[in-house]
């Protein structure tokens, strides 16, 4: 925290935003075969991306249920990211189709609970797309910084 | 799909039934011929406000189930699933009952071959307590003297023991907060077309029941009952069919108007804050069938310390499990001790899901809700 403050004083940006964005918690549910590989690629290539994301590896995006997303928000996540294989590339044939249909109902329900739509994001990222994983994380982190921490009502 | 007008050949049933006793006759035929093990229907207990789901195995007992009970809203879909799944049964079903049965068939909890569904057209039901109060306030009669009630041509009609009738416009009752249950007011499925046959008095002349035959099983039912000499049928004239269509159209139009008015009024966050996590809405829901295995019972969701529970981890989970299959039967509203408009929120999400996918719970054809389908398509 001390380091952060010093950093912000030097650069003279908005203290609050920097403090807040470093405390942001992102839960990332990544599919074992593609997006987790993508994150691995980004790591091996030493790409810098926001360290706020806590990655949970799942075998397939098709095994992610809406309840998992809700649980993450309830436990204090400010944003939830889901990564899966590109359509047609699913290791289990059709898991990502199932997830894509489920994600729509998650969006609908989150809206009802006053959680901004932007706090939940899903993306198809293959194991070779380290760059895409990095940029997605940066974008997502930026969006969440603007929204600030989530206050559940 | 075809239409017939029918009435009972049996004088007792003809008198006891709501309009010609066709439904009771068909049930009697099914029992007498041994086609089914039993019949699940509603019979009054103490008065017309007290309807009890009754499993009848002897056709002589059928007489007490004759007539319609708008003040006794019960759900029979989950009863069939819980207690009668291994029997051959015939049930009488309002549109929401039928939708629940259809959703349970999709979930392999009811065997389609084991069940005969006699659908009943429905313009809405009235909550029993509010029903009594409303008769006390708006009618000159004592609620205890009412022997039968009927909803017809936009009016709620009560009949007293001496045969006199009194009617008040439902619209006037609902303006004052009485009348039909709120979920019935916004319900836009008035004819259960997934049932084998759908019966009602819309378009029918006095003493006859208008029947829409929806499938082959329904046709066999009518033909069989006719052959057994218990049912008399004739084909309806075109004006009758048109008249029925018109009644249905008007009701649906009214429902849509109420939907537009009702959906924006709900404030989920404030409503959920009253929740005391009694799980009554889950336990009564005909679509929620997991019971002991419910995700809300799992250690990672069980939250006994916090009241109200975190809305997203309680109602959110339930919404994600079955809101797309909500049949808007309103049982959750009825049981909620904190008067949370649960069904309104679930129904609103069902409509949202419909806008996305075109899936109407328990009405749409096709094997599964899109969320369960193995199809390789994105929404």
The per-residue pLDDT for range B208-264, each reduced to its tens digit, is 899 999 999 999 999 999 998 888 888 888 888 998 899 899 999 999 999 998 888
Q: What is the mean pLDDT of chain B?
A: 88
Mean pLDDT of B103-124: 91
Nearest alpha-carbon partner for B372 in B325, B326, B327, B317: B325
| 8 Å CB contact of A101 and B370 | yes
Q: What is the DSSP string of B183-207?
A: HHHT----S-TTSSEEEESTTPPTT
The answer to whether A71 contacts B311, with C-beta atoms less than 8 Å apart, is: no
**Of residues B67 and B4, which shows the higher confidence score?**
B4
User: Does residue B63 have a pLDDT over 90?
Assistant: no
Task: Provide DSSP, B206-220.
Answer: TT-EEEEE-SHHHHH
pLDDT of residue B347: 92
User: What pLDDT was estimated at residue A43?
Assistant: 93
What pLDDT is recorded for position B20?
Answer: 82
Interval B280-302 mean pLDDT: 88
Rounded-to-integer distance, Cα B160 and Cα A37, Å: 76
How much is the pLDDT for A21? 56
Dihedral of CA atoms B263, B268, B271, B273 in degrees, nearest 10, equals: 180
Mean pLDDT of the A122-128 span: 95
Chain A residues with a Cβ under 8 Å from any Cβ in chain B: 65-67, 70-71, 73-74, 87, 94, 97, 100-102, 104-106, 108-109, 112-115, 152-153
**Beta-strand relationship, B165-169 and B89-93:** unpaired
CA angle at residue B334 from B329 to B335, to 5 degrees?
A: 115
Write out pLDDT tens, residues A56-110.
Answer: 999 999 999 999 999 999 989 999 999 999 999 999 999 999 999 999 999 999 9
Residue A12 pLDDT: 44
The predicted structure's pLDDT at residue B15: 80
B1: confidence class by pLDDT, cuts 50, 70, 90: confident
CA distances B183 to B262, B273, B282, B340, B345, Å, are 10, 21, 17, 13, 11
Cβ burial, residue B339 (10 Å; 0-12/13-18/19+): exposed
Distance (Å, whole) CA A110 – CA A124 = 21
Average pLDDT over residues A6-27: 58
Helix (H, G, I), strand (E, B) or coil at A139: helix
Whether B356 and A104 lie within 8 Å, measured CB to CB: yes
Q: What is the pLDDT of residue A47?
A: 93
Residue B54, SS3? Answer: strand
H-type alpha helices, A59-124: 66-74, 95-112
Q: Which of B57-66, B69-78, B114-123 has maximum average pLDDT?
A: B114-123
CA atoms within 13 A on the CB side of B266: 22
ipTM of the complex in this document: 0.84
**Predicted pLDDT of residue B128:** 87
User: Within 10 A of B373 (CB to CB), how many other CB atoms are there?
Assistant: 17
The arrangement of strands across the sheet holding B165-169 comes to B146-152, B155-160, B165-169
Determine the pLDDT at residue A20. Answer: 52
Mean pLDDT along residues B173-178: 86
Q: What is the arithmetic mean of pLDDT over B101-118?
A: 92
- Render the burial of B88-103: b for 16+ CB within 10 Å, e for the rest: bbbbbbbbbbbbbbbb
Position B73 pLDDT exceeds 90: no
A11 has pLDDT over 60: no
The Cβ of residue A4 has, within 10 Å, a number of other Cβ atoms equal to: 13
pLDDT in the model for residue A15: 46
What pLDDT is attached to residue A17? 53
Return the beta strands (E) in chain A as ranges. Answer: 26-31, 53-58, 79-84, 120-124
pLDDT confidence bin for B105, thresholds 50/70/90: very high
pLDDT of residue B147: 82
For position B174, what pLDDT does the model report?
86
Is B36 a residue whose pLDDT tops 50? Answer: yes
Closest Cβ–Cβ partner in B317, B373, B374 for A67: B317
Residue A7 confidence (pLDDT) above 50: no
pLDDT above 60 (res A3): no
* A84 contact residues in B (CB cutoff 8 A): none
Residue corresponding to tokens 């008067």: B339
Flag whether pLDDT at A22 surpasses 80.
Answer: no
Mean pLDDT value of segment B348-376 = 86
Instruction: Tell me the pLDDT of chain A averaged across its residues.
Output: 86
* pLDDT at residue A61, as a whole number: 93
**CB-nearest partner of A66 from B311, B320, B378:** B320
pLDDT band at residue B292 under the 50/70/90 scheme: confident
The A53-58 sheet, strands edge to edge: A53-58, A26-31, A79-84, A120-124
Both tokens of residue B251?
């009701």
**B345 neighbors B308 (Cβ within 8 angstroms):** no
What pLDDT shows up at residue B92? 92
Tell me: the pLDDT tens digits for B185-218?
A: 999 999 999 999 999 888 888 888 999 999 999 9
Q: How many helices (H) and strands (E) does chain A have?
A: 6, 4
Structure tokens at B261: 């008015």
Q: Cα–Cα distance between B52 and B118 in angstroms, integer?
A: 18
Report the residue of chain B nearest A66, measured CA to CA: B320
**B22-32 vs B216-227: helix axis angle to the nearest 10?**
80
Output the pLDDT for position A84: 94
Tell me the C-alpha distance between A68 and B36, whole Å.
44
Which one-letter DSSP state was computed for residue B112?
G
- Give which of B298, B297, B290, B279 is closest to B342, Cα–Cα: B279
Q: Which of B300, B321, B379 lies closest to A100 in CB terms?
A: B379
Cβ contact, residue pair B300, A106, below 8 Å? no
Q: What is the per-residue burial (b if ≥16 Cβ within 10 Å, else e) of A127-151? A: bebbebbbebbeebbeebbeeeebe
- Phi and psi torsions of B134, nearest 5°: -70, -35
Q: What is the distance in angstroms between the Cα of B261 and the nearest Cα belonging to chain A?
A: 17
Residue contact A105–B312, C-beta within 8 A: no
pLDDT band at residue A4, thresholds of 50, 70 and 90? very low
pLDDT tens, residue by residue, B333-350? 999 999 899 999 999 999
Q: Is B37 exposed, middle or buried (0-12, 13-18, 19+ CB in 10 A)?
A: middle
On whether the pTM is more than 0.80, the answer is yes
B7, B208 contact by CB (below 8 A): yes
Region B352-367: what's the mean pLDDT?
87
Out of A67, A97, A115, name the one closest to residue B376 (CB).
A97
């Amino acid at each position: 925290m001390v380091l952060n403050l010093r950093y912000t004083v030097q650069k003279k940006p908005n203290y609050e935003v920097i403090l807040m964005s470093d405390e942001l918690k992102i839960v990332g549910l990544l599919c074992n075969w593609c997006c987790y590989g993508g994150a691995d690629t980004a790591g091996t290539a030493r790409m810098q991306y926001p360290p706020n994301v806590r990655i949970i590896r799942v075998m397939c995006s098709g095994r992610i249920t809406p309840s998992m997303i809700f649980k993450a928000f309830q436990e204090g996540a400010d944003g939830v990211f889901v990564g899966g294989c590109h359509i047609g590339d699913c290791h289990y044939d059709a898991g990502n189709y199932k997830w894509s249909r489920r994600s729509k109902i998650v969006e609908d329900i989150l809206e009802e609970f006053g959680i901004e739509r932007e706090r939940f994001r899903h993306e198809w990222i293959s194991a070779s797309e380290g760059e895409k994983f990095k940029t997605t994380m940066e974008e997502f982190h930026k969006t969440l910084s603007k929204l600030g921490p989530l206050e559940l009502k | 799909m075809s239409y017939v007008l029918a009435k009972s050949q049996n004088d007792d049933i003809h008198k006891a039934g709501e309009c010609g006793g066709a439904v009771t006759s068909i049930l009697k035929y099914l029992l007498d011929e041994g086609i089914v093990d039993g019949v699940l229907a509603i019979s009054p207990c103490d008065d017309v406000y007290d309807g009890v789901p009754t499993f009848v195995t002897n056709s002589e007992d059928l007489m007490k189930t004759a007539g319609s009970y708008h003040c006794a809203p019960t759900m029979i879909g989950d009863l069939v699933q819980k207690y009668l799944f291994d029997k051959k049964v015939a049930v009488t079903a309002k549109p929401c009952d039928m939708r629940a049965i259809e959703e349970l068939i999709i979930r392999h909890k009811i065997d389609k071959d084991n069940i005969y569904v006699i659908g009943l057209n429905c313009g809405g039901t009235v909550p029993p307590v509010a029903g009594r109060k409303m008769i006390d306030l708006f009618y000159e009669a004592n609620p205890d003297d009412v022997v039968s009630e009927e909803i017809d041509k936009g009016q709620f009609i009560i009949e007293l023991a001496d045969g006199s009738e009194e009617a008040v416009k439902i619209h006037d009752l609902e303006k004052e907060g009485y009348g039909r249950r709120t979920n019935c007011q916004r319900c836009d499925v008035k004819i259960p077309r997934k049932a084998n046959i759908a019966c009602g008095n819309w378009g029918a002349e006095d003493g006859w029941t208008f029947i829409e035959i929806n499938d082959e099983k329904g046709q066999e039912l009518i033909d069989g009952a006719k052959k057994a000499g218990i049912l008399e049928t004739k084909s309806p004239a075109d004006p009758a069919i048109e008249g029925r269509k018109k009644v249905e159209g008007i009701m649906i139009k009214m429902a849509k108007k109420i939907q537009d008015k009702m959906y924006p009024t709900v404030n989920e966050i404030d409503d959920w804050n009253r929740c005391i996590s009694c799980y009554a809405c889950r336990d009564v829901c005909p679509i929620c069938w997991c019971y002991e295995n419910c995700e809300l019972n799992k250690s990672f969701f069980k939250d006994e310390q916090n009241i109200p529970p975190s809305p997203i981890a309680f109602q959110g989970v339930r919404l994600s499990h079955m809101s797309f299959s909500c049949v808007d039967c309103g049982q959750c509203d009825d049981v909620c001790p904190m008067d949370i408009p649960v069904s309104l929120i679930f129904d609103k999400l069902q409509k949202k899901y419909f806008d996305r996918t075109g899936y109407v719970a328990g009405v749409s054809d096709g094997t599964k809700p899109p969320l369960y389908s193995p199809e390789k398509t994105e929404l």
